[in-house]
Structure 1
Amino acid sequence: MSNSQPQAGQGSPFDFFTPELSPPEDHTQSKPNFDNAYICANISELCYLSSVNAKHMNIGYEEAVRSTLYSWGCSYEDVQKTIFIDSQDIEDIPDDSENIDDNKKKYIADTQGLIIFHKNTVIIGFRGSEKKVGDWAINLKIHSRILDYTDRQDGRENLLSVISSKEQRVHRGFLRAFKALLVNQDYHDWVMKQLGAAENVWLTGHSLGGAIAILAANYLLEQVEPKINVSGVYTFGAPRVGNSHYRDHINDKFKSQYWRFMNDNDPVPDIPFPELIYRYSREGCMLRLNNINGNYDILRRIDQEGKRIRLGRYNGKPNSVNDHNLGGAGSYCERLFSLASQAQPMTFKHLKEKGNKRQIKGITPEISVFQTIDSLLKQGVSDETIAQALKVDLKIVKKARNSDFPYSD
């Protein structure tokens, strides 16, 4: 690929992704890489079944995701490496309820995501809740647990000991959602092997997926041997995850590598509430997106010693649930698009305008299929392999090879 900027419909948005960011010379002036943020937000959206008009984690969803990645210009070899994360059942940690006899129950963790490969970089995205934002306040359990990636059977804890504890504590539901991914040891070891071969690993997620992303990033740094090179964590509309001791630990580990993005008055980053017994506190650098004109406020930076530099406050509004959306008018993706300096002319925005990737089997057949075929042909992939990968008739591939594509930029 030439060094000149690709025109719309050519190349890959990932070509504008910076795998390893240099630490800022002055942490008091640090800011995120907005091209990376824009790409991470789109990957976070792709983790949702609704992003490709799917209803279940099945072969149809997997085919739609792969078709989307092809349309984004990803190589055939990298797309075939895509890992679809899907959790398994785990034993529930007993609730802090009075009737402990009813606590021996099965908890079905609903944790999904994607592991996307591009050259020597891996981007791991976690899906948030498919439910409406309004359900958060009802369904969110506020109890916390000591940060322990192994199974614990703690039983009920003395409330005074929780308040006075100096241990890292995280939201019980978020921890269980992540631990559900560790159940199958063989699968776990295989995934770690794939990640270990990458030069850089990024993690991202929206809403609940953002909470799981930072727990996973901490796990990769502390619990895996050899250590995985976590280069960045970008989350969108993520809730608070743990107490102040957990916050300080994460800030010391990641410093300016970890950015929390909040969109205008999105209410989800405000929960669980900090005034509750468990003293939830936001970790990481924080940035608030204000409007579609590229305005933003940096609310918090982390200095080279892992200390917080507070620059502003964030307060979401319960009636601003649309600000939590990843896609659509006034969403995270739209507002980050206006800040992305390089990736915007030829990436997700262009593809959506050509026919809305939510309808994919790509975009419209004339655009999506032929554009994807074109990308794979340029990579030297055989006609038969393309037809099999895209589930299209071989005649369509041969026609595409020998004719002009029926779209223009």
Structure 2
Amino acid sequence: MRHHETRFTPPFPLQDTQAYTMAGDRMIVTAFRGTEPARIKDWLTDATTPPVTGPGGSGHVHHGFAEALRSVYEDLADCLEDLRTDGQALYFTGHSLGGALAMLAGARMYLENPHLAADGIYTFGQPRTCDTVLAEAFHRGLGGRTYRFVNNNDIVPQLPPEPVFTHVRALRYIDSKGRLHDSMPMFSALTDRAMGLTADVFAPASDGIRDHFMRNYLAALEKNLG
């Protein structure tokens, strides 16, 4: 088992951007580091910063997420070229900000380096990352290989605000009882999201933040395996 860490300390408002790659005989997995919602609160609630052109000229991407990926992308692409020596399956994953970067890395490699197209992309609590044009281009190439998990009232997937930003069509929704669905049931949309909310959705005790914790995603997914 080989591994490689790609890291950059940027001049924009994140502590740093990191991607950790593990390679074996049959698969390669790159995990992008997430961050606490409070650290990117301004990004997630700001609708004034213009988005930038997306990978391969397709659509547009949230400026902050694009910059975070740009800071590590070339090193990551070189790493994957070196490690993918025997046609191993390639997977991207990430939680929170890391989920946005996993989705964008998958989109960029599919649109710019098709031979590096990911075999699977798994994100947890991913924020809205791009516009509808890029989301559709992503779906055409990677929709059947992508799993975007959202835990009930997790506030991060509800931001940045629509209509500028949207999600790719790959939802796997965990309801308030921990049950996994391939879409958000109407019952959940009307009732689950009303449970446990506070005036400040970024408050540590709010349902929106509790549902964002990766440990709660893992607990729900383990329950659905049983």
After superposition, residues 21-100 of structure 1 pair within 5 angstroms as 78=1, 81-87=2-8, 89=10
Residue number among 33, 52, 72 corresponding to 1:145 in the alignment: 52
Give the Cα separation in 1 of the matches to 2:221 and 2:86. Answer: 30
- Residue 241 of structure 1 deviates from its aligned partner by 0.6
Please state how far the C-alpha of 1:230 moved relative to its aligned partner.
Answer: 1.4
Aligned equivalents of 1:290 and 1:190: distance in 2?
38
- The match for 2:31 among 104, 125, 137 is 125
The one of 245, 250, 261 equivalent to 2:138 is: 250
Q: Distance in 2 between matches of 1:257 and 1:183?
A: 23
Aligned to 1:228, which of 108, 112, 116?
116
1:179 aligns with: 70
The structure whose residues are more often strand, as a share, is 2
Counterpart in the other structure of 1:208: 97
Supply the AA of the counterpart residue of 1:169: H
Note the C-alpha offset of 1:291. Answer: 4.7
Please state how far the C-alpha of 1:149 moved relative to its aligned partner.
Answer: 6.8
1:334-363 superposed Cα distances (whole Å, 9 cap, x missing partner) = 01011225xxxxxxxxxxxxxxxxxxxxxx
2:40 equivalent in structure 1: 136
- Aligned pairs for 1:5-404 (under 5 A) are 78=1, 81-87=2-8, 89=10, 106-107=11-12, 110-129=16-35, 131=36, 133-140=37-44, 141-142=46-47, 143=49, 144-148=51-55, 168-182=59-73, 188-195=77-84, 197-224=86-113, 227-275=115-163, 279-291=164-176, 295-299=179-183, 312=186, 317=197, 318=201, 319-320=206-207, 321-327=209-215, 331-340=216-225
CA-CA distance at 1:88 after TM superposition = 5.4
Tell whether the 8 Å contact from 2:23 to 2:83 is kept in structure 1 after alignment.
no
Pairwise CA distance, 1:86: 0.9
Which has the higher Rg, Structure 1 or Structure 2? 1
Query: Is the CA contact (8 Å cut-off) linking 2:106 and 2:117 kept in structure 1?
Result: no
Q: Which residue of 2 aligns with 1:358?
A: none
Report how many residues are paired. Answer: 208
**SS of residue in 2 equivalent to 1:299:** coil
Alignment partner of 1:176: what SS? helix
RMSD (Å), alpha carbons: 2.7
CA distance in 1, matches of 2:99, 2:117: 19
TM-score normalised according to structure 2 size: 0.80
Render the CA deviation track for 1:289-321: whole Å, top value 9, x for unaligned.
Answer: 1256x5123227xxxxxxxxxx65856852311
Question: Structure 2: which 5+ runs fail to align?
Answer: none
CA contact (8 A) 1:112 1:127 kept: yes
Change (3 A) 1:267 1:228: same
Q: For residue 96 of structure 2, what is the amino acid of its counterpart? A: S
| SS of residue in 1 equivalent to 2:224 | coil
Note the alpha carbon deviations across 1:77-125, whole angstroms, 9 max, x for none: x1xx111121255xxxxxxxxxxxxxxxx54762112112233101111
Structure 2 residue identity aligned to 1:286: L
Give the Cα separation in 2 of the matches to 1:120 and 1:188: 18
Contact 2:43 2:160 in 1 (8 A): no
Offset of 1:223 from its aligned partner? 2.0
Distance 1:88 1:149 in 2: 25
Shift of 1:233: 0.7
Mapped to 2, the partners of 1:124 and 1:190 lie a distance apart of: 10
Check whether the contact 2:129–2:166 (CA below 8 A) recurs between aligned residues: yes
- Cα separation, partners in 2 of 1:324 and 1:145, compared to 1, 3 Å: same
**Contact 1:196–1:228 (CA<8 Å) still a contact in 2?**
no
* SS of residue paired to 1:338: helix
Q: Structure 1 residues 188, 257: CA separation in 2 closer, same or farther (over 3 Å shift)?
A: closer
2:73 touches 2:105 (CA, 8 Å); kept in 1?
A: no
TM-score, with normalisation over the residues of structure 1? 0.46
**Is the 8 Å Cα contact of residues 256 and 284 (structure 1) preserved in structure 2?**
no
Kept in 1: contact 2:18–2:33 (CA 8 A): yes
How far apart are the structure 2 equivalents of 1:233 and 1:148?
16
